[in-house]
Amino acid sequence: IKTIAVLTSGGDAPGMNAAIRGVVRAAIAEGLNVFGIYEGYYGLYHNNIKPLTRFSVSDIINRGGTFLGSARFPEFKNPEVRAKCAENLRAHGIDALVVIGGDGSYMGAKLLTEEHGFPCIGIPGTIDNDVAGTDYTIGYQTALETAVVAIDRLRDTCSSHQRIAIVEIMGRHCGDLTLAAAMAGGCEYIVVPEMPFNREELIQEIEASIAKGKRHAIIAITELMTDVNELAKEIEARVHHETRATVLGHIQRGGAPCAFDRNLASRMGVYAVDLLLAGKAGYCVGIQNEHLVHHDIIDAINNMRRPFKSDWLDVSKRLF
């Protein structure tokens, strides 16, 4: 391998820049040429590919987002689009590709490896912490801090007004961000996609705690589970207590990466280059029990599942 490329794909996450920097600097130190692909697979298809030097990644370790840009590109499902992408890589003399992103981005890497024999390595970058084969994804810890700060602020106002607050947290189909933010924020009720959502039970629990004298409460809920504004109206009508919903939204995706994410990203970036130099392709990087690991990307997508942290939910429930 003489020349590699790196791209970021899917939803951006704080720490992606640090991961790009890790890949670029480690590769250059080993004498490799490095290209940056701008705007993910979309940019790959449109040939938005430029050489990177060690100075291209100066002053980015502390910056949120991704300087390469990211995109969702559903057209990549089309085999002709993928063939053009592989052709663009080869036209630049690129021998291997590092993809930083979530599950969807891994799928792209898997297809390039499977169909075009193109060596790819995946690095998990998403705030959702929903990628198999790793305890943590890059961006998750930063988003968690952001969500906790927001919950603390909601606590101030809902306690002043004796209201019920509903806070909707990102995570797509994974409740990790909600679980961890809710525990750190001392939320009274937690609704995550891994557990069945029983509205009636939630309302009865709130009614019971109000009857016991509770004046305010925070409900943390993962996005996509229900319309939180409707839920607020329903709770208010049933328990006769003012209720407000707040959707944290894309605020959770921005901001300077925390030290944990910068270090995770730097380590994973260097590890990805080491894998390529060792002739390994078609793998995704992870961290498990503090150690960097790699798994077959196809296995990670098709067979590996992230365990639900039910013990976290139990702890939070015991602390209400």
Active-site residue, selected from the candidate residues 95, 128, 130, 261: 128
102 binds ligand F6P (CB under 6 A): yes
128/188 with CB nearer ligand F6P: 128
CB atoms within 10 A of CB 108: 25
Burial class of residue 290 in the structure, from the number of CB atoms within 10 Å of its CB (0-12 exposed, 13-18 middle, 19+ buried): exposed
65 binds ligand F6P (CB under 6 A): no
Q: How far apart are CA 215 and CA 200, in angstroms?
A: 20
Question: Do 40 and 10 touch, CB atoms closer than 8 A?
Answer: yes
128 binds ligand F6P (CB under 6 A): yes
Residue 122 annotated as part of some ligand binding site: no
64 binds ligand F6P (CB under 6 A): no
Q: How many residues bind ligand F6P (CB under 6 A)?
A: 11
| Active-site residue flag, 128 | yes
56/70 with CB nearer ligand F6P: 70
Within 72-91, the residues that bind ligand F6P by CB under 6 A are 72
305/318 with CB nearer ligand F6P: 305
90/250 with CB nearer ligand F6P: 250
What mask, x for binding ligand F6P by CB under 6 A, covers residues 247 to 266? ------x-------------
CB of 200 to ligand F6P, least distance (A): 26
Residue 267 annotated as part of some ligand binding site: no
CB atoms within 10 A of CB 309: 17
Binding residues for Mg(2+): 103
Active site residues: 128
Residues of this chain that bind ligand F6P (CB under 6 A): 11, 72, 102, 126-128, 170-172, 223, 253
